[in-house]
Copies of this chain bind each other. A is one copy, B any other.
């Protein structure tokens, strides 16, 4: 699977902004976050734009502009972030419709749909158990 680092980078950005604000700063720039994540500022702006649409962060423009949290880290879960940055389902159906004249071709999609829905529900439940506050705590707890 073309595994996806979007959730990782988004969590990185949120933890960074949260920590930076706790150090007394008003806003963080995409440039600073990009340096920490070792990527391009535009990538960060794109991701944070999706988080803004989800109401997790706010942005200011003009001189001294940048990004700030719209809510406390403790009230944000990885599920909020996941839903903001990951559009599609975890598993896909066939790219082309299977043979509807075949018993298996006809019934396989509803059958797998049921399984996949249950799994995604479980995944959401797991993601909802972890707040960004938890993530930041674990980040700071890393041994040096």
Q: Which residues of A contact B (CB under 8 A)?
A: 1-9, 11-12, 15-16, 19, 35-39, 78, 86-99, 102-108, 110-112, 114-115, 118-119, 122-123, 126-127, 130, 135, 138-142, 144
Interface of A is mostly: helix
User: How distant is the Cα of A6 from the Cα of B110 in the complex, in angstroms?
Assistant: 16
B3 touches A104 (CB 8 A): no
| Min distance, Cβ A37 to any Cβ of chain B, angstroms | 5
A12 touches B104 (CB 8 A): yes
B139 touches A88 (CB 8 A): no
Q: B residues within 8 A CB of A11?
A: 108, 112
Q: A90-B90, A119-B123 are in contact. List 11 more A-B contacts (CB 8 A).
A: A1-B87, A2-B4, A3-B92, A8-B93, A12-B104, A15-B108, A16-B102, A36-B102, A78-B115, A115-B130, A119-B127
